Amino acid sequence: MSAEDQIKKTVTDNDVVLFMKGTKSMPQCGFSSRVAGVLNYMGVDFADVNVLEDENLRQGIKTYSDWPTIPQLYIKGEFVGGCDIVTEMTLSGELDDLFSKNGVTYDKEAADKIREANA
């Protein structure tokens, strides 16, 4: 299976996917750690894909999304963004809206606590 086919299958088969360096329990870069930390704290069930395990996948995700950096978050097959965008969306409440709109379960109180701590 090509990297593109593998990526397409992963984002289609899972409601929320984070392509990252490392895993959700052991991130291997600060940006991946931040996004995985937000998702974990908010109680979001997400698939993590460690791009460090496969160079074809690591380059393939950049081509697939036309986005040069990792991590990359997908919700219901749609590319959301990287660390800065996810951080901004979390703080503005847009990520909550996106989860709600797509039927993704998350902890609203935890999301509010993130915003309170960063106000």
3-state secondary structure of 46: coil
Contact 29, 22 (CB under 8 A): yes
Q: Is 29 annotated as a binding residue?
A: yes
The one-character DSSP state at 52 is G
3-state secondary structure of 10: helix
CA 32 to chain centre: 8
Which residues, 6+ apart, have CB-to-CB distance to 8 below 8 Å? 64
The annotated binding site for [2Fe-2S] cluster is made up of 29
The annotated binding site is made up of 29
